[in-house]
Each structure stands twice: as C-alpha cells, then as structure tokens.
C-alpha cells in the first residue's frame, strides 16, 4: 500500500512536471514578446551595475543558472523573471530590487537576447505555430534537419536554440548570406584524381579537411590530395524577408529557440 502510494505520488508529480514543461518552455509564451535593441542595451547597463556582481558578466556565476543561455532554476516566463527580480529569493540570498517596470523590461530583454549587446530587435511568438511553418510553408526541411527528419544538405538545427542567440537566428532567416558562418560556406573541391566534392566543411586543420556533401556523405581529405579548392560566398538558403509575416517570423523564431538538442 505504501509502495503504491509512493508510486502514485511520483506519477502525479511526473505528470505535473510534464504538463508544466509542455505549457511553459522558455520561449513558448501565449502572446508574442517584443525585445527591442534599445531595451537590450538599457538592460545591459542595468545588468552590469546591479546583477553582474553575483550573476557574473556572462550570467553563469550562480550554480545551476546561466542567464545568457536561458538556464534558470526557478523561473521560465518573463512574468516569472519580473516577479523574482522584484521580490528576490531570500533563501538563495538574492535581494529584492526596486526597478521601474520599464527597467524590468530592459533587463528581461537583455537576458532574452542572450546578452547580445549588438543584437537587433526581435520578437518571440508561439513555438508550436513556428514548427508548423518550419515543416510546412517555410519548406525548411528540404535542406535542414531537426531530430532526425529533414535533409542533411544544410546544417542540422536540432540544437540551434542552445547554440545561437535570437537576433542571430533571426538574421539567418532574413539575410542568410550575410549571416552565414564561414564554416558553412559551400565548398567545391576538385581532387588530383579528378573527383569533385560539393558540400560544406565540418572541420579543418593544417593537414586535412572534413566535409559533408549534399547527399550526407562524409569525407576526410588530405590537403595534399586537393587540386583546387573554392569557397562560395553566397548561401543556398533563400531569404524569408517579406515571405513571412512579422507574427510568423516570431513564431518560427520561437520554434528554433526551443530546439536545444
């Protein structure tokens, strides 16, 4: 009886965690949240003077918390952050802070930007709607892959939300060529034996280069075997500027930010 009771409690707790987890992932707010560059920069100044002493310049000085990477112990939504900053956490030694509402918005914007001081304004919408765009209208899976489905032509995005800041992802959607990281530039390799490989680099050192081609085949080449190597400067990805509404862009961003591996 006692055992069954414990199991039942665990089950209920598990279900509750699952529900709360589903209902409140970091970016899946019901309404779209706006974070402006002005607020991010104002938030940085407040953060540096008021928060950095304990949380550190990178937001990772308190154990179990990495503010820039949206890893929290007690909060999830913007409202949670607002409440915690205002009332403090006496048990953890965090004092209450007397901020104006606009100041709180600014600090939240700085945290949500991933401490991206130079980042553009962005908005985060609904992740579920964003997934529908990714799989449907956006046609993203024609090149990208998430959790085992989609193509391997372009980088796998299964953990993109953990790797990139919101403004950077947004820029990749709107200006793919300008935002493309050097490692992802398309390469065209002609080998001394005549083989031609087209794909992108995964790794490189002084002597060798590791590639994946458009069909998902892996190559490790000795540079001494390469006759000609060309690096493309344009991206194969189309710009989605003007193709997605502001709300759709916010939803797509919410979905990509939710991909944490």
**Residues forming the site for another protein (CB under 8 A):** 48, 53, 57, 116, 118, 164-165, 167-168, 178-183, 201-207
Dump the DSSP string for 165-195.
Answer: -HHHHHHHHH-HHHH--GGGSEEEEEETTS-
Residue 209's alpha-carbon distances to 183, 187, 193, 221, in angstroms, are 11, 11, 17, 5
**Shortest distance in whole angstroms from residue 163 CB to another protein:** 9
Residue placing its CB nearer to another protein in the complex, 150 or 166: 166
Residue placing its CB nearer to another protein in the complex, 28 or 106: 106
Helices 37-46 and 101-112 cross at an angle (nearest 10°) of 100
Residue placing its CB nearer to another protein in the complex, 29 or 186: 186
Q: 190: which 2 tokens? A: 């002609």
Give the separation between CA 200 and CA 185, rounded to whole angstroms. 6
Cα Rg of the chain, angstroms: 22
Q: Tokens 């949206």 map to which residue? A: 70
Give the separation between CA 257 and CA 166, rounded to whole angstroms. 7
**Shortest distance in whole angstroms from residue 53 CB to another protein:** 8
**Shortest distance in whole angstroms from residue 119 CB to another protein:** 8
**Shortest distance in whole angstroms from residue 183 CB to another protein:** 4
**Shortest distance in whole angstroms from residue 145 CB to another protein:** 17
**Shortest distance in whole angstroms from residue 61 CB to another protein:** 10
Residue placing its CB nearer to another protein in the complex, 24 or 201: 201
Residue placing its CB nearer to another protein in the complex, 57 or 238: 57
Residue placing its CB nearer to another protein in the complex, 9 or 48: 48
Dump the DSSP string for 76-117.
Answer: -SHHHHHHHHHH-BGGGTBPP----HHHHHHHHHHHHTTS-T
Give the separation between CA 34 and CA 45, rounded to whole angstroms. 19
**Shortest distance in whole angstroms from residue 16 CB to another protein:** 37
How open is the CA angle 136-261-28, to the nearest 5 degrees?
60
Residue placing its CB nearer to another protein in the complex, 44 or 240: 44
Q: Are 114 and 253 in contact (CB under 8 A)?
A: no
């Amino acid at each position: 009886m006692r055992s069954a009771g414990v199991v039942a409690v665990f089950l209920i707790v598990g279900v509750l965690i699952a529900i709360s987890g589903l209902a409140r992932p970091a970016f899946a707010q019901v309404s779209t949240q706006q974070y402006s560059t002005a607020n991010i920069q104002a938030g940085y100044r407040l953060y540096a003077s008021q928060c950095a002493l304990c949380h550190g310049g990178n937001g990772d000085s308190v154990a179990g918390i990495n503010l820039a990477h949206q890893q929290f112990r007690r909060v999830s939504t913007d409202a949670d952050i607002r409440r915690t900053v205002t009332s403090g956490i006496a048990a953890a030694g965090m004092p209450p802070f007397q901020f104006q509402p606009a100041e709180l918005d600014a600090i939240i914007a700085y945290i949500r930007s991933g401490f991206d001081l130079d980042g553009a304004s962005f908005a985060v919408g609904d992740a579920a709607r964003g997934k529908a765009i990714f799989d449907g209208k956006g046609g993203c899976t024609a090149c990208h892959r998430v959790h085992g489905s989609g193509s391997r032509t372009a980088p796998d995005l299964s953990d993109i939300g953990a790797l990139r800041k919101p403004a950077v992802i947004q820029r990749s959607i709107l200006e793919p060529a300008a935002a493309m990281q050097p490692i992802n530039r398309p390469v065209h390799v002609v080998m001394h034996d005549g083989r031609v490989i087209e794909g992108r680099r995964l790794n490189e050192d002084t002597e060798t280069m590791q590639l994946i081609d458009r069909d998902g085949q892996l190559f490790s080449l000795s540079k001494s075997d390469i006759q000609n190597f060309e690096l493309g400067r344009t991206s194969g990805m189309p710009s989605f500027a003007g193709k997605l509404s502001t709300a759709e862009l916010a939803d797509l961003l919410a979905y990509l930010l939710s991909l944490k591996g």
